[in-house]
Amino acid sequence: MSERVRRLQESARRIRRYALDMGEVQGQGYIGQALGVADVLAVAYGDQLRFRPDDPEWDGRDRFLLSIGHYAIALYAALAEAGVLDVAELRTYGCDDSRLPMSGMASYTPGMEISGGSLGHGLGVATGMALGLRYRGSDARVFTLLSDGELDEGSTWEAALACAHHGLGNVTAIVDVNALQADGPTAGVLRTEPLLDKWKSFGWRAVRVDGNDIGQLVTAFDLLAEHRAAPSVLICDTKIGHGVPFLETRPKAHFMPVEPHEWQLAREALEVPA
Amino acid sequence: MTTPTKRLTTSAMIASFADEGQRTAKAPFGQALVRLAQERTDVVGLSADLAKYTDMHVFREAFPERFFQMGMAEQVMLGAAAGMAEVGLVPFASTYSVFATRRAYDFLCLDIAEPALNVNVVGALPGLTTGYGPSHQATEDLAILRAMPNLTIVDPCDSLDIEQAVPALAAAPGPTYMRLLRGNVPTVLDEYDYTFELGKAALLRPGRDVLMISTGLMTMRALQAARQLERDHVDVAVLHAPTIKPFDTGTVLRETAGERLVVTLENHSVVGGLAESVASCLAFAGRGRRIVPIALPDEFLAAGALPTLHDRYGLSVDAITARVRAEL
């Protein structure tokens, strides 16, 4: 295992830990999704994105758009790990007057580029940012994190067409495929597979990896970064609750129930190296 | 420039509401956007496969590298416009009003209005400016948009209003929606001591008997009706309110203080537009009084030729004068 991968694994573990801390504050949150996507965020923020932690508005930064606003708990954890937020502030998660509301909103939180909540928006805004950055002569890149459920939204595909049509090689979409959405398994709610074929047929460079394998993620991000002729999509198969064995095996639910005494047990489970 | 126009008898999508022999200016929005872009390198244009029909083609031809064709996809057009504003550009995004408001509302609301971005949405075929039927007649766009926080809403009267509004909309820091009059657009307001001022209503002519409060192209009709009523010794004032939001309540309260008959005129449904803006302005100030709303009915409208439909639905000058005479 390379030092790079080992370092990012440690980072992902801290992101999970921060997410569990926030989940405990409210006794709820999209903790299953946060645990699942932690590795993707660790690689994005710890290895791929160009940004300045002390200057989140820096004009030359790569943009990371959280299209799935309900994953805010995961992004706050990643922003704390990245040094954009203070770890101590995570204790305010979801509280009145906090900068960390339960759904991600740009006006509340440093480092939160857009307001989510209504799905199917992120890729469209990314399209405009990428067009605008290219027009302005900036080499900054635009990343946006989508979910597989969000692929139900037609607006996502409007944007997918536009990115390909305009040759936006500065766009990287990341799709968190946890195969679950509000009403049940994605395969039963509205079938979106085969994802690789769909994105490729839309004119995208598409790669699919195990989104809980840091080594695979690093390799895939590196590969896509070299390719700037067309937009890229990294499809990440992730496991809800990943990193906490007793949550990984819990019956799958959009809102994963966690008992008050289980938050500490979950944190302890994280400390056991995978 | 004078363009002779024939009275239309078809339900074509693209039609002119200019009167025969009326002075018009060609594509005033496109021309104004080009002039603005010559001064401001941050101005960009987008369209959703309707550049040609929203006068955006003039900008596209002048600044091809600053025009972005988003295809027949209004959601991504507005989302992308937000993204462009996020990176420091000042986008003007054009389509038909029905698509900007009905189809892409969530994107205008959450991507543009909530972060208060300087995105300027331009909607053609507002109200009854096409005889093509309800699919293209944006009779309720003001009602849809008035409750959207942060959004400035402008309904210009003529080519002069549009030319002056365009730089003002770009200069305003937040999001705007302008109802577009396209093609050969009448030029009317240059005959008055008038300058477009965002957020302000302007008294175009004084009058003792009737106060007409009008917006959009209905100000042109109000001025024509006022001249006709003059012959019957009815003295009509016309207050033009091109900014629907924020509404100039101060001027409206001041002008409605007397006993004059108050008539509102709008190219929009009687629900949720100018009439109700004036009514709520008066009632909220404790000055409730009767107003006569000249507006489109709360119905899906028929297809047909514009002159026929304007007569039928009460927006023509003859219909306005008849209504006012009946009220006096």
pLDDT per position as a tens digit, B141-176: 999 999 999 999 999 999 999 999 999 999 999 999
Least confident of A54-63, A133-142, A250-259, B87-96: A250-259
**Architecture in CATH of B24-186:** 3-Layer(aba) Sandwich (3.40)
CA A82 to chain centroid:
14
**Contact criterion met (CB below 8 Å) for A151 and A119:** no
The confidence band for B17, taking pLDDT boundaries of 50, 70 and 90, is: confident
Would you state the pLDDT for residue B1?
44
Q: Is A137 on the interface with B (CB under 8 A)?
A: no
- Give A121-130 pLDDT, tens digit per residue: 999 999 999 9
Q: Is A165 on the interface with B (CB under 8 A)?
A: yes
ipTM of model: 0.95
What 8-state DSSP symbol labels residue A229?
S
Mean pLDDT of A86-103: 96
How many angstroms away from the CA of A157 is the closest CA of chain B?
A: 9
- Give A152-204 pLDDT, tens digit per residue: 999 999 999 999 999 999 999 999 999 999 999 999 999 999 999 999 999 99
Q: Is A60 on the interface with B (CB under 8 A)?
A: no
The residue whose two tokens read 């900008």 is: B59
CA B310 to chain centroid:
16
Q: Are A125 and B114 inside 8 Å of each other by CB?
A: no
- Give A200-243 pLDDT, tens digit per residue: 999 999 999 999 999 999 999 999 999 889 999 999 999 999 99
Find, among A79, A81, A80, A74, the residue nearest to A36 by Cα: A74
Residue ranges of chain B whose CB lies within 8 Å of a chain A CB: 44, 65-66, 68, 70-71, 73, 75-76, 78-89, 91, 106-107, 110-111, 114-115
Q: Establish whether domains B24-186 and B189-327 are of one fold.
A: yes
Would you state the pLDDT for residue B5?
54
Average pLDDT taken over every residue of chain A: 95
Q: Is A78 on the interface with B (CB under 8 A)?
A: no
Separation CA A68–CA A27 (nearest Å): 21
Residue B4 clears pLDDT 60, i.e. is over it: no
**Architecture in CATH of B189-327:** 3-Layer(aba) Sandwich (3.40)
Q: Are B79 and A128 inside 8 Å of each other by CB?
A: yes
Burial class (CB in 10 A: 0-12, 13-18, 19+), B305: middle
Find, among B244, B251, B43, B281, the residue nearest to B157 by Cα: B244
Separation CA A218–CA B310 (nearest Å): 64
Mean pLDDT of B89-117: 98
Separation CA B117–CA B83 (nearest Å): 9
Residue B97 clears pLDDT 50, i.e. is over it: yes
**Contact criterion met (CB below 8 Å) for A63 and A43:** no
Encoded tokens for B84: 């462009």
Would you state the pLDDT for residue B2?
47
Least confident of A220-224, A238-242, A254-258, B47-51: A254-258
Q: Are A125 and B80 inside 8 Å of each other by CB?
A: yes
Q: Is A121 on the interface with B (CB under 8 A)?
A: yes
Domains in chain A with CATH codes = 3-270 (3.40.50.970)
Mean pLDDT of B180-206: 97
Query: Which of B70, B82, B84 faces A162 most closely, judged by CB atoms?
Result: B70
For residue A126, list chain B residues with Cβ-Cβ distance below 8 A.
83
Q: Are B89 and A136 inside 8 Å of each other by CB?
A: yes
Partner residues linked to B144 by β-bridges: none
Average pLDDT taken over every residue of chain B: 96
Helix A154-165 and helix A122-135, axial crossing angle in degrees, nearest 10 = 20
Residue B64 clears pLDDT 70, i.e. is over it: yes
Would you state the pLDDT for residue B6?
59
Residue A131 clears pLDDT 60, i.e. is over it: yes
**Contact criterion met (CB below 8 Å) for A26 and A94:** yes
Mean pLDDT of A133-141: 98
Q: Is B144 helix (H, G, I), strand (E, B) or coil?
A: helix
| Residues B243-267: b if buried by 16+ CB within 10 A, e if exposed | bbbebbbebbeebbeeebbbbbbbb
Residues counted in chain A: 274
Q: Is A56 on the interface with B (CB under 8 A)?
A: no
Q: What is the pTM of this model?
A: 0.95
Would you state the pLDDT for residue A255?
83
In chain B, where the domains are located: 24-186, 189-327
Mean pLDDT of A121-148: 98
Q: Is A107 on the interface with B (CB under 8 A)?
A: yes
More confident residue, B278 or B288: B278
